[in-house]
Amino acid sequence: MGQSKVLVGVYIACAAAACATAAVAVTQRLKVRAQKCTARKILVEFQEACETPLPRLRQVVDAMAVEMHAGLVSEGGSKLKMLPTFIDRLPNGSEKGLYYAVDLGGTNFRVLRVQLGGLEGRVIKQEYEEVAIPPELMLGTSEQLFHFIAKELAGFVAREGEEFRLGDGQSREIGFTFSFPCKQTAVNSGTLLQWTKGFKVNDAIGQDVVAALQKCIERLGCKMRIAALVNDTVGTLAGGRYWNNDVMIAVILGTGTNACYVERAESISKWTGELPKSGQMVINMEWGNFWSSHLPRTYVDELLDSESLHPGEYGFEKMISGMYLGDCVRRVLVRMAQEAGIFGPHVPHTLLESFSLQTPEMSRMHHDDSSDLKVVAEVLKRLYGIQNTTVGIRKIVVAVCDTTCQRGARLAAAGIVGILKKIGRDGSTANGLMRRNDTNGIHDELSVNSTPGSGKTVVAMDGGLYEHYSKFRNYMQEAVRELLGDASKNVSIELSKDGSGIGAALLAASYAEYVPS
């Protein structure tokens, strides 16, 4: 064979290899493109199913107001439980003395004490301690759960410093923030209707939770009286009202979500007790259980619900609150991984685990403003071992976070405007905002320092989701403004941080057996 033939042979072989490599690269590129295309399709389908345009939000607003009426008329009249709390007066600043609160309901458990100095001294000093709830207690027995609370409380009381003082003859009284649906029979008694969020302590359902905790406290030799059973929304309302007379509504956006507000006692047709002198009562709506056919429900919500601890319950909460948002995102990513292979040929097994993507991590990815979405890459790698994602795929992940967050935030906004509508403060009725003493009569009776006619309605907000997830907060505020239009200038939404703990202590003061002079 001549040299030229050899060269031609080598050349052909090289060209063939180059062609093969190029073909592999083209196939790879085509594959990536096809993956992205399928993932985009899944994304667009999800975005469309989650849409909350203004007309749809208005339907949710109306449904909320209608369901509120129905829930007040009869037990079981609506999925909204609309629970009377027996709270017919709210703190007004004149409270004095030393009070305690325990707060159970989210991921953390808190104990708190506060020294109140009346209108002049206000909050002289407060202290609190917080511990994460051992996960096994959320699924154990009621005895274990209440014993844990009592023990933490007793330890905290034992560490009371000298700067905290009981009034002469005053004994220690506590507000018990228990953030689950309870049917109250008095301000300081109530039976648990069902668990929500991640709790499932079956033998507690139907029990008087105040009596159960009181028994555990006494068994530890601790002398304390539970003066009030307080949902966290009610605590937030009380904490907000202590500083601002215009607070009428409180909303929690945290692990779970819920709202309470001040209602005219006459409107609570299902109320069979004596009408309170003030003519008012705080209603715990348990809006997490709200449902309406106007809610944009997707395959993700159906899956999440059917695999949850409480299927068929708390559908609104499952679309909105911190416990579930991350898991909604994860479920969309699972579909993209399975159907479009966006994370490689195998779906990482940890991605298949429920709640492996928590809302704080979702929020970090959503707020990633680096050009190559570093944070998204880091979270995917750390949680699921996913490496080498393209910026295109990361953008899709951010878009899933955005869609889920925006839907939740806008639905929460519709819920708030629904309450405003129910109490005539959404600007939809002539003089709605100024007629408040006719429509609700709340302000003057419930607070000593009311400023009638200020025309303002304040919504006190609390919860980690609202506080820490700024895109959620912004979407929510924007939707409230969109829905209220001009009337939004009369409504303000204010963070009342940790209001529920101090609010429970304030309610313990309002409903104490002994009131220091």
Residue numbers of the site for ligand GLC (CB under 6 A)?
A: 105-106, 179-181, 196-197, 231-233, 252, 254, 256-258, 286, 288, 317
* Adjacency order of strands within the sheet including 96-104: 123-132, 108-117, 96-104, 172-178, 224-230
Q: Which of 208, 232, 305, 368 does the annotation list as catalytic?
A: 232
Is 189 designated active site? no
Report in angstroms how near the CB of residue 418 gets to ligand GLC at its nearest.
16
CA-CA distance, 74 to 68, in Å (whole number)?
A: 11
Question: What's the longest Cα–Cα distance across the chain?
Answer: 116
Residue of closest CB approach to ligand GLC:
256
Is 179 designated active site? yes
First CA to last CA across the chain, in angstroms?
116
Q: Which is nearer to ligand GLC, 179 or 214 (CB)?
A: 179
Neighbours of 164 (CB within 10 A): 19
**DSSP-based three-state secondary structure for 318:** helix
C-alpha to C-alpha distances, 311 to 54, 137, 294, 307, 412, nearest whole angstrom: 29, 21, 20, 7, 21
The answer to whether 495 and 265 are in contact (CB under 8 A) is: no
Q: Which of 78, 142, 179, 278 does the annotation list as catalytic?
A: 179
Q: Which is nearer to ligand GLC, 365 or 419 (CB)?
A: 419
CA-CA distance, 430 to 396, in Å (whole number)?
A: 46
Q: What are the residues whose beta carbons fall under 8 Å from the beta carbon of 516, sequence distance 6 or more?
A: 96, 97, 167, 168, 170
Q: Which of 88, 89, 103, 110 does the annotation list as catalytic?
A: 110
Q: Which is nearer to ligand GLC, 322 or 427 (CB)?
A: 322
> Which of 287, 299, 226 has its CA nearest to residue 416?
287
Is 110 designated active site? yes
Residue 4 CB burial class (10 angstroms; 0-12, 13-18, ≥19): exposed
**DSSP-based three-state secondary structure for 494:** strand
Q: Which is nearer to ligand GLC, 87 or 333 (CB)?
A: 87
CA-CA distance, 112 to 94, in Å (whole number)?
A: 20
In one letter, which amino acid is 397? V
Q: Which is nearer to ligand GLC, 204 or 375 (CB)?
A: 204
- Element counts in the chain: helices (H) and strands (E): 17, 13
Q: Which is nearer to ligand GLC, 365 or 493 (CB)?
A: 493
Residues catalogued as catalytic: 110, 179, 232
